[in-house]
Amino acid sequence: MDNPLLARDPLPPFPRITAADVEPGLTALLAEARTEIDAIAAREPPSFATVVEPLEELHHRVARAWSPVSHLNAVLNSEALRAAYNACLPLLSTYQTDLAQNEPLYRAYQRIEARAGATLDAVRRRVIEHALQDFTLAGVGLPRAAKEHFKKVMLELTQLQAKFEENVLDATNAWSHHLTDPAQVRGLNEVLVDQARRRAHAKRMEGWILTLDQPTYVAVVTDAQSAELREAFYTAWATRASDQGPQAGRWDNAPVIEQILSRRHAAARTLGFENFADYALAKRMARTRGEVMSFLEELARAARPTAEREFTELEAFAGHQLEAWDVAFYAEQLQKQRHAVSQEELRPYFPLPRVLSGLFEVAERLFGVHIRERSGAPVWHPDVRFFEIHGDGRHVGSFYLDAYARPHKRSGAWMDECIGRKHLASGEATPVAYLVLNVLPPGQHHPALLTHDDVLTLFHEFGHGLHHLLTRVDFPSLAGINGVAWDAVELPSQFMENYAWHPEVLGRISGHYLSGAPLPAEVQQRLRATRSFHAGLQMVRQLELALFDFRLHAEYDPARGARVLDVLGEVRRQVSVVPVPAWNRFPMSFGHIFAGGYAAGYYSYKWAEVLAADAFSAFEERGAFDRDTARRYLDTILSQGGSRDPLAAFIAFRGRPPEVHALLKQHGIASPEPVT
């Protein structure tokens, strides 16, 4: 079959992939895979070489074919591609569940572990342990009727999560705001205003048209002097895909959430877990609900007094009671007054080419790698760039960078696997990653200019990328980010953020797009001082999201339903200090937990932030670019993928278990008083 998804090219042939290729290509691949699985499961006697390695190869092949489809659906969404993507979700879900419920295969893995486990090296034993756990968590030991029920539930979940994301994307793309009064755009940066002017001109309209993409939303609520404009954008953003706001009921995700939570709970109960939170924790670094809740409540006790002081001070500065759409604006004004630093005023000093050059230099100094752009790689959009990483005289990986916001592209930023690493008897593959941002594109006379917040996001996603690209694990199921406990997977990304604040790095990543002059030393010092600005407010917001997510999944009761707004209200009364309008419906667009992989796991950001702050403190003790410390971090954590228990890996690097103190110190928050 001449299908680009099945091509054995070094990289996905993006220009040749069409929606019409998707379902035929995946159908053929999965049929072939099923035949191979039957043959593998029947091999006697089963061994690592005859059973496990061939399945690792198969895993790699299927993941590699599906990756460009999933990616294109996120970054170049169209009706035809969406239809093809959705048609394939049941095929893929059924295949994955059938594979994980394959009893002959499960017994083969058990026999390999029993007969050869003691003779295998640690990584191979870990591969088998992970696989056996996956078999169990997919219901391999269930009676036939329960297996079928579990499969049905997982298929429905896959479709519901895709529907959730589609509703958010459609609601975001459908809203725009037309302005004709110049006073309404006062305070917004000229790039955004120029784009809005050209958008209006293209529609033969006067004035400006602003869209609801993430960088525009953030710019409006942070910088627009017009409270009316801020309110309009906040309302549209906070009510996306809900029963409220300007598009009330059109893409309402409330019934989708109800069904998602119902099916997650049903899946967990089918496997013998009390709730979905317990099911999720089976593969996490944290082991119990109590451990997670104690962790979050400890941080809340530390952060809330600070957040209350910060918000009282902010309202005093504003001179009046603040609405939700005023908070970011007056926070920016207060920060500007206190530290003489504005995110918008920093943009000219952070042109994307300069930031990338400095970021790559950080990776080179820490890990001895060299990163160079390569032209001619097949890409899905003219703005996409391709880079290769070399280390120790060899090519170790590559990544795509898709940096700019545009229509039909999912909001936010992320790193995902394009191709995973493998080193098997059947062949080798070097890892390839997608790095996706949504920053403002270049203007007519200058490159893309970033805020420092954008810079932090880039460093964060690049940290994920290094985790994927610098892996030394040979088996796809544990290479890079695969097989890593979800509450540890953010460690490398949040670790890298520290370098975006470092004085030596700020001098390298900044350079005025006209003069090339780096950010002046006194401005750098003021910028670094902002790191702890409103740290309490920022932390309680993250804790609100984490507690809401975890409680929602831990306390779900089919008799009472999802209780989304009730649980959120209870959490807000516990930890939040900023008033939120009753019509706010942020859960309806909370893709991390309803469409992504963070269900009952949003706490992972804070959990891993503790790990990252503590890990970086080792560099602060020896020097931010100390090569011995960097080599130990690379050897014990970054290169290990899922081949090592995350707590054991951290202890091997740090010499002790993680401590929360480094994170609180980093943000200028006092340690909490012990509970008595």
Amino acid at 659: E
Write out the H or E segment, with its range, that includes residue 404.
strand 394-404
**Catalytic member of 53, 166, 461, 609:** 461
List helix spans (H) across 623-645.
Answer: 627-633
**Cα 499 from Cα 633, distance rounded (Å):** 15
Tokens of 323: 């609405």
Amino acid at the residue 652: A
The enclosing H or E element of 433 equals strand 432-439
Nearest to 325 by CA among 410, 248, 236, 242: 236
Q: Which of 463, 456, 454 is nearest to 490 (CA)?
A: 463
Supply the angle between the helices 53-75 and 19-41 in degrees, to the nearest 10: 160
Assess whether 190 carries a catalytic annotation. no
Cα separation, 386 vs 402, in Å, equals 9
Residue 421: which of 472, 489, 357 has the closest Cα? 472
Q: Which two tokens stand for residue 320?
A: 């009046």
CA gap 437, 461 in Å, rounded: 8
Residue pair 343/222 in contact (Cβ under 8 Å)? The answer is yes
What DSSP designation does 437 have?
Answer: E
Lookup: tokens for 346: 């920093």
Q: Are 405 and 371 in contact (CB under 8 A)?
A: no
Query: Pairing between strand 394-404 and 432-439?
Result: parallel
Measured CA to CA, the distance from residue 61 to residue 474 in angstroms comes to: 15
Report the alpha-carbon distance of residue 493 to residue 480 in Å, rounded.
13
Contact 573, 544 (CB under 8 A): no
**3-state SS, residue 653:** helix
Residue 434, beta-bridge partner list:
400, 416
8 A C-beta contact, residue 494 and residue 391:
no
DSSP tag of 671: P
CA distance 538 to 302: 13
Interatomic CA distance for residues 111 and 119, integer angstroms? 13
Q: How many CB atoms sit inside 10 A of residue 85's CB?
A: 24
Evaluate whether 175 touches 251 at the Cβ level (below 8 Å).
no
Q: Are 554 and 277 in contact (CB under 8 A)?
A: yes
Tokens standing for 98?
Answer: 């059938």
Instruction: Look at residues 218, 408, 224 and name the one whose alpha carbon lies nearest to residue 208.
Output: 224
| DSSP H stretches of helix in 368-411 | none
Q: Decide the pairing of beta strands 385-391 and 369-373.
A: antiparallel
Q: Where are the alpha helices (DSSP H) in 227-341?
A: 227-238, 254-270, 276-281, 289-318, 327-339
- Name 419's bridge partners: 432
Catalytic residues: 461
